[in-house]
Amino acid sequence: WGKHDETRELLKTAIEALNVSGDITTDEVEALIAMVLKPASDSVADMTMKEEQILFPMCMDKLSETEWYEIYKQTIEIGFCLYDPTDEWKPEGIEEVVVESADGSDIQLPSGNFSQTELLTILNTLPIDMTFVDRNDKVRYFSQGKHRIFHRNRAILNRDVRMCHPPSSVDIVEQILIDFKSGKEDRAPFWIQMGEKFIYIEYFALQNEKGNYLGTLEVSQDITDVRKLKGEQRLLSYSKPKDDD
């Protein structure tokens, strides 16, 4: 993960350098190649070599066909790089597991009830990403809306949440968990710029009525359009917020 971050940063720097306008001397071109472009190119080549010579052969040797099928299904959720397969692949003898409630009954809550399908649809319709981490720091659930900000796949379920973040942010995750479990804090807000999107991220400590820690809920939302709202809208309109001129 750390090496991927380094490669991405080198590529970002290279692209920014190539987009600089204005005249450039021969010496500056040579310096650009030596200090920016070649390190970026070498990093990509090195990463590709490690994948082709180490990672992929090891996976081919260790993973079963069932595990490859799970990888295939989760890759479809995230998207492919450079190539989109046109044929659907499913190994022979693989049976899909459909999760249903034990007796088909509704999920009863203090203020009402849902069927499993209704609850799932509601959670995936909300304009937010949600991820639930239990009291043992294991990822137990994530929402699957159409416009997810941070892509998730089922491989993270039951994984320690620290293993689901890049090394640069593990210390922050650890501090949030410590503060939530001790009761020192119960929420932690962040906001970041992702390209043209402005993302608001908030972590909530979940506690039962006795104040016992149950886990952490991460909620992320793209509030780019919300920040542009002005005045009021009291009349029915299905139009999306317009960009400022």
* Residue 96, domain member (yes or no): no
Give the residue from 200, 169, 203, 170 showing the smallest Cα distance to 186.
203
Could you report the per-residue pLDDT of 131-157, keeping only the tens digit for each?
Answer: 999 999 999 999 988 888 888 877 788
- Examine the domain organization and report whether 121 and 220 are in the same domain: yes
- Examine the domain organization and report whether 137 and 204 are in the same domain: yes
* Residue 154, domain member (yes or no): yes
- Examine the domain organization and report whether 52 and 120 are in the same domain: no
* Residue 91, domain member (yes or no): no
* Residue 197, domain member (yes or no): yes
pLDDT at 32 over 90: no
Give the residue from 75, 91, 73, 92 showing the smallest Cα distance to 83.
75
Label residue 244 by pLDDT band (50, 70, 90). very low
Q: Cα(217)–Cα(232) distance, rounded to whole angstroms?
A: 31
Could you report the per-residue pLDDT of 98-135, keeping only the tens digit for each?
Answer: 555 445 568 888 788 888 889 999 999 999 999 999 99
Count of structural domains within the chain: 2
- Examine the domain organization and report whether 53 and 157 are in the same domain: no
- Examine the domain organization and report whether 27 and 117 are in the same domain: no
Could you report the per-residue pLDDT of 171-222, keeping only the tens digit for each?
Answer: 999 999 999 999 999 999 999 999 899 999 999 999 998 999 999 999 999 9
CATH code assigned at 120:
3.30.450.20
Tell me the whole-structure pTM to 2 decimals: 0.64
- Could you list the residue range(s) of the whole structural domain that residue 136 is in? 113-228
The length of the chain, given as a count of residues: 245
* Residue 198, domain member (yes or no): yes
Q: Cα(9)–Cα(39) distance, rounded to whole angstroms?
A: 11
* Residue 97, domain member (yes or no): no
* Residue 90, domain member (yes or no): no
Region 21-41: mean pLDDT is 86
* Residue 137, domain member (yes or no): yes
